[in-house]
Chains A and B, each alone.
Chain A
Amino acid sequence: MYAIEVEKLRKEFKSYSSRSGLAGAFRDLFTRNYKIVRAVDDISFTVKQGEMVGYIGENGAGKSTTIKMLTGILTPTSGRVVVNGMNPHKERERFVQTIGVVFGQRSQLWWDIAVQESFRLLKKVYRVSDQAYNEHMDHVIETLDIGPLLDKPVRKLSLGQRMRCELAAALIHNPPLLFLDEPTIGLDVLVKLKIRQFLKEINEKYNTTILLTTHDMTDIEALCERVIMLDEGKIIYDGSLQHLKQNWGEGRQIHFQFRDMVSKEELTSLVPVTWEQGEDRYNWIAHVLTHDMAHVIGKIVSSYELKDIHIREVSTEEIISNIYEEGIHHG
């Protein structure tokens, strides 16, 4: 059974534009200019129970809109959405019982009162029994290390502390499906690591499906085997992260530091690959394919005196930004 099934999902918004000037403002009172913007454009995908999927895209690519449709907050313009076997929008109250959501930029805890009061309310809201709550939440509270924070009002917590509490709050009813919309935004490395570790753990323990949107590629690398990449409302890639890296990140960057100044022409005539200048004319970076590496290094080493060499793998972040700049078909 699929946790998420999406078929030809589309969401259009009306976007109003104001006319300029006072006369324009008066005209706007009666008729307004608008155009239809397609935020999500006929996307289809499925997610199996227990999968951890990274849902990535630039700002405004339609990620949040998709998540809002999957969680039943927004109604799709057209298309079919089945999540946990239900139509999110039609059976909202029954459906939301089976999902957990964390919006990194929005708190779902009550600002002015102690964290444990929010937990207590959510426990009642999701009708979690005392026994199930203690069993599950004791573990969650311990792993996320939020025990000492529970009696503090949310407004007194740091962002990292708050985020861990948010995550715990989303898991009170131990949902089989978890949506995380930029959960690590603005967090320091230690908190990020703790959160990732925790997510992996619940995924293994409860076979929880996780759909994660983030701008932090290290999150995706640490957690997701599969990524879905979105651009201008369309899916441009859906597959394993490994495959993406193989096709796109096959090259290596070799950074040479020469003892003497060299010019680009010299280098290119010796080894015809893409050369890029580093900080100055002593430093040059060669973009080469993996299997050419030995050949390039050999040639350079035998012709010049070198101070230093590094070899660098292309990072996922660079791969993604290359794809957005050049389009997916290049590779």
Chain B
Amino acid sequence: MAKYIEMIRMRFLMMLAYRTNYYSGIFIYSINIGAYYFLWSAIYGGQPSIQGMTVEQMTTYVAIAWMARAFYFNNIDREIAMEIREGKVAIELIRPYNYLMMKTMQGLGEGIFRFIFFSLPGMLIVTFVFSLHFTTNVQTWSYFALSTVLSFIINSQINLLAGMVTFFTLNGEGLLRAKRFIIDLFSGLILPISFYPQWAQSVMHYLPFQAISYIPSMIFTESFTRDEAVKGMMFQAVWCVVLIVPIYLLWKAAKRKLIIQGG
């Protein structure tokens, strides 16, 4: 376990080495939150609530969804693809650790870094600028924390899967771009799932994406009842377990087929 914790630390150091990337990140996120804030304010107009959510819940939803994204979001899919393309995966395979686990830990190191240096100060700024509603309920906060950890796991698992597909295609740029877009759209980052038409909602119920953003954000804004929150987290937990199966199978097949490029 020590080696995995060391890897988190390592990634933390790497992020520190490239601070400028993250300053521009704060800026982009703030613009996104601001834009959605005004968009939703305009959509609500004078209406007290749409789909059972007040305008305050809605704007808080958007802000928290983006801030949580800073934590769960990572580029390990791109990194895996790159390491395969450049043959670096060879170096990874001569080390006594599980490559996928190491990549996940790197993602976690990145997530923790962004959470401390990005989400926390960012959230502080956003609460001063916009009128958002943050609950004082400890239970909501702890549910949200747990739910966000689960969303990190699911997002990382999907990234691992997407990255590994490049074992077979050797160039998965288009696929990775499509995946990113699908996650932003279907996870509820841009629009809460409850706003989608009924048929789309029922389709998405069989997909893991809403576990990434929709569920933790709904928990945070207290748009979910306690039962719904527990059910949501169960949904997340089940997907965490279910996704292990394709990861395991794909990794096994990938290792068998592994072509180290460039010599």
Residues of A within 8 A of B (CB): 13, 64, 68, 71-75, 92-94, 96-97, 99, 101, 103, 105-108, 110, 112-113, 117, 120-122, 124-127, 153
User: Complex Cα distance A75/B253, Å?
Assistant: 12
Pick from A105, A107, A113: contact of B10, CB under 8 Å: A113
Pick from A72, A93, A101, A120: contact of B6, CB under 8 Å: A120
B2, B93, B260: which has the most chain A beta carbons within 10 Å? Answer: B93
Q: Report A-chain residues with C-beta under 8 Å of the C-beta of B259.
A: 13
Contacting pair A106 B97 (CB below 8 A): no
Chain B residue at smallest Cβ distance from A105: B263
Q: Report B-chain residues with C-beta under 8 Å of the C-beta of A121.
A: 3, 6-7, 10
Within the complex, the shortest CB–CB distance from A87 to chain B, in Å, comes to 14
Contacting pair A96 B95 (CB below 8 A): yes
Within the complex, the shortest CB–CB distance from B92 to chain A, in Å, comes to 9
Pick from B3, B18, B94, B98: contact of A124, CB under 8 Å: B3
Q: Can you list 23 A-B contacts (CB < 8 A)? A: A64-B263, A68-B260, A71-B94, A73-B93, A73-B94, A74-B260, A75-B255, A93-B98, A94-B96, A96-B93, A97-B96, A101-B94, A103-B91, A105-B263, A106-B88, A106-B91, A107-B91, A121-B3, A121-B6, A121-B10, A122-B95, A124-B2, A125-B6
Pick from A73, A101, A112, A125: contact of B260, CB under 8 Å: A73
User: Complex Cα distance A195/B178, Å?
Assistant: 48
Contacting pair A113 B13 (CB below 8 A): yes
Contacting pair B94 A99 (CB below 8 A): yes
Enumerate the 6 nearest inter-chain pairs by beta-carbon distance, A residue then B residue, closest first: A124-B6, A124-B3, A112-B17, A125-B3, A108-B91, A97-B96
- A125 with B95: in contact, given A68-B90, A74-B260, A112-B18 (CB under 8 Å)? yes
Size band of the interface chain B makes with A: 20 to 34
User: Complex Cα distance A122/B91, Å?
Assistant: 12
B90, B98, B256, B260: which has the most chain A beta carbons within 10 Å? Answer: B90
User: Complex Cα distance A99/B94, Å?
Assistant: 8
Q: Report A-chain residues with C-beta under 8 Å of the C-beta of B87.
A: 106
Q: Report B-chain residues with C-beta under 8 Å of the C-beta of A96.
A: 93-96
Within the complex, the shortest CB–CB distance from B3 to chain A, in Å, comes to 5
User: Complex Cα distance A153/B91, Å?
Assistant: 19
Within the complex, the shortest CB–CB distance from A294 to chain B, in Å, comes to 48
Chain B residue at smallest Cβ distance from A113: B13
Q: Which of B6-31 contact A (CB under 8 A)?
A: 6-7, 10, 13-14, 17-18
Q: Report B-chain residues with C-beta under 8 Å of the C-beta of A94.
A: 96
B35 within 8 A of A: no
Chain B residue at smallest Cβ distance from A153: B17
Chain A residue at smallest Cβ distance from B259: A13
B258 within 8 A of A: yes
User: Complex Cα distance A99/B87, Å?
Assistant: 20
Q: Report A-chain residues with C-beta under 8 Å of the C-beta of B95.
A: 96, 122, 125
- A117 with B91: in contact, given A13-B259, A64-B263, A96-B96 (CB under 8 Å)? no
User: Complex Cα distance A74/B90, Å?
Assistant: 9
